[in-house]
Amino acid sequence: MKKQLTSILGACALAASMLGPITSPVQAEWDIAKAAAPFKGEQINVIFLDRPGYRAIIKLLPEFEKKTGIKVNYEIAPYENTREKQVLNFNAKGDLTLALVDLVWIGEFAENGWIEPIEKLSADAAITDPGLNLKGFFPLLLDAFGSWGGKVYGLPFDNYSGLLFYNQCQLKEAGFDKPPATWAELKDVYAPKLTIADKKQYGYALQSLRGETQSCDSFMRVLWPFGGSLLDKNFKSNLLSPQSQAGLKFRQDLAKSMPPGIVSYDHSEAVNALAQGQVSMITEWSAFYGTLTDPATSKLGDCLAVAPEPAGPAGRLPALGGFSLAVASQATEAQKKASWIFIQWATSEEIARPYVEAGGVSGRMSIYEQPDIKAKYKFVEPMVASWQKGVPEFRPRFPAWPAISEVIAEWGTKMQLNEVTTEEGAKQISTRMEDILKKEGYYDGKKELRQ
């Protein structure tokens, strides 16, 4: 009898072990507290920005810390200083255990070995959520924000798409019952009717302050929809191509409908101009939806409406931007594991709803399929539409971008000020940009042409 019982138990154990990978409770249900138990008391460090997505996760942090016992230390820094702080920290083998990776830093951070490919961590089942589901992210976001050279390094955390925010009341008054569908329509039909310069009322504002705002939000925004691009397939400048020039000239023409001194407009000025009714349309990051709906910062109320960015001759190719979170290579093994648990939590499908409700923009597809979310947040549908198609290399993501961005910022502004023609400006940028790329080794075969 005893022998028989042993045989039955043995058979059950064998069966259980064979079924293990499918039905094991460890894999079927992710217990974050259990996974984090070995790292209780561990401190992980990250830099955050003073933007809605970060304020949202900060609100939710106590829940994570309570569940896991892992302490998340964050420092809030202005965007302009974030890369500098991280680069210096990584070089000095500092205390950061997580990297906040802007789309355009992924190449630099990955090639320098400052961040870990997630495969190194996800291979460890004890610290990896079986519901991690990378396919649940918008493919464009995972590809653009988190991947480099075919490897995933970071998971999309603070996600943006360029959107057309507009004052539908002003548009209605001017006789328009829908937003412009194309850039040409915006410039030739809508903007002239909405611009009354004497009353300091303008149809459109394009934030163009020198810096990343100029290079990304202003300059690159007019290249892609017109069929242009920064580089051709050989990494030579494509700025003198008819398509790129068409985009740049379009921006010059559109200036007539913009407030004077648009080159001094950063995001805050453009958003504020719409919020206060001084301009009727802006193309801005989805993240500013919260600012524009907050009665404390916006007079728009129900007049606010959101649409995808207008299409150009090459289609709708809106600005793409955002940040992923990655594990820093300099962290200790325990910190790396704790950081990986945090990243999975902060970008998980489970946290997506509270994150969005707290003001964040999740990179998970499933949350935007929820009817109540769609109904509550006007930006969701145009944003999801924008993320269906886009160019990951909207801005090149290679390590040379920061240097090239500075060149574009200078000469792009000079073009807008009519100090140089679009052709002359493009020539100046091309010469300097190709010089930078040559020094990087892109033209002598030392580096793969990857952007």
Partner 1 sequence: MSEAKPTRRHHLGYGRWTPFWFLAPAVFALLVVGIYPTLFALATSFRRYNITRRSDMLDGFPFIGFDNYLTVLSDRTFWDSLLLTGQFYLTVVPIQIVLGMAIALMLHRPGWGFLRTLTRVSLVVPLATTYAVVGLIGRLIFNRDFGVANQFMGWVGISSSDWLGNPTGAFIAIVVMDIWQWTPFVALIFLAGLSMVPVDIEEAARLETKSHWALLRYVQLPYLLPGLTAVLILRSADVLKLFDMVFVMTRGGPGAATDLVSIYVQRVGFKVFDLGLASAQAVMLLVLTIVLSRIYIRIFYREIEA
Give the Cα separation of 300 and 376 in Å (integer). Answer: 16
Bridge partner list, 145 = none
Nearest distance, CB of residue 353 and partner 1, angstroms: 38
Nearest distance, CB of residue 213 and partner 1, angstroms: 9
For partner 1, the closer of residues 128 and 214 by Cβ is 214
Q: Which of 419, 424, 438, 449 binds partner 1 (CB under 8 A)?
A: 419
- Residues in 265-284 at the binding interface with partner 1, rule: CB under 8 A: 265, 278
Residue 149 near partner 1 by CB under 8 A: no
Which region among 138-146, 222-230, 380-388, 400-408 touches partner 1 (by CB under 8 A)?
Answer: 400-408
Residue 435 near partner 1 by CB under 8 A: no
In the shown chain, the binding pattern of residues 298 to 337 toward partner 1, with x for contact by CB under 8 A and - for none, equals: ----------------------------------------
For partner 1, the closer of residues 30 and 401 by Cβ is 401
Q: Which of 264, 332, 366, 388 binds partner 1 (CB under 8 A)?
A: 264
Contact 352, 131 (CB under 8 A): no
DSSP 8-state symbol, 311: B
Nearest distance, CB of residue 406 and partner 1, angstroms: 6
Looking up tokens 């996800």 gives: 122
Residue 42 near partner 1 by CB under 8 A: no
Residue 20 near partner 1 by CB under 8 A: no
Pairing relation of β-strands 320-327 and 154-167? antiparallel
Nearest distance, CB of residue 214 and partner 1, angstroms: 8
Q: Which of 179, 162, 210, 185 is nearest to 409 (CA)?
A: 210
Residue 431 near partner 1 by CB under 8 A: no
Which region among 262-270, 325-333, 369-377, 382-390 touches partner 1 (by CB under 8 A)?
Answer: 262-270
For partner 1, the closer of residues 242 and 261 by Cβ is 261
- Angle, to 10 degrees, between the axis of helix 52-68 and the axis of helix 349-357? 130
Give the Cα separation of 347 and 362 in Å (integer). Answer: 7
Residue 104 near partner 1 by CB under 8 A: no
Q: Which of 375, 427, 125 is nearest to 248 (CA)?
A: 427
Helical (H) or strand (E) element with 147 = strand 147-148
Nearest distance, CB of residue 430 and partner 1, angstroms: 15
DSSP 8-state symbol, 118: T
Helical (H) or strand (E) element with 44 = strand 43-49
Q: Which of 38, 149, 261, 315 binds partner 1 (CB under 8 A)?
A: 261
Q: Which of 260, 376, 389, 424 binds partner 1 (CB under 8 A)?
A: 260
Residue 424 near partner 1 by CB under 8 A: no
Q: Which of 409, 429, 433, 437 binds partner 1 (CB under 8 A)?
A: 409
E-assigned strand segments in 270-356: 279-285, 304-308, 320-327
Residue 113 near partner 1 by CB under 8 A: yes
For partner 1, the closer of residues 386 and 430 by Cβ is 430
Q: How many CB atoms lie within 10 A of CB 23?
A: 9
Nearest distance, CB of residue 264 and partner 1, angstroms: 4
Residue 356 near partner 1 by CB under 8 A: no
Contact 106, 150 (CB under 8 A): no
Give the Cα separation of 16 and 9 in Å (integer). Answer: 10
Contact 204, 191 (CB under 8 A): yes
Give the Cα separation of 9 and 1 in Å (integer). Answer: 12
- Angle, to 10 degrees, between the axis of helix 349-357 and the axis of helix 333-346? 60
- Which SS3 state, helix, strand or coil, does residue 3 take? helix
- List interacting residues with partner 1 (CB under 8 A): 84, 87, 91, 108, 111-113, 200, 209-211, 214, 259-265, 278, 399, 402-403, 405-406, 409-410, 413-414, 416-417, 419, 441
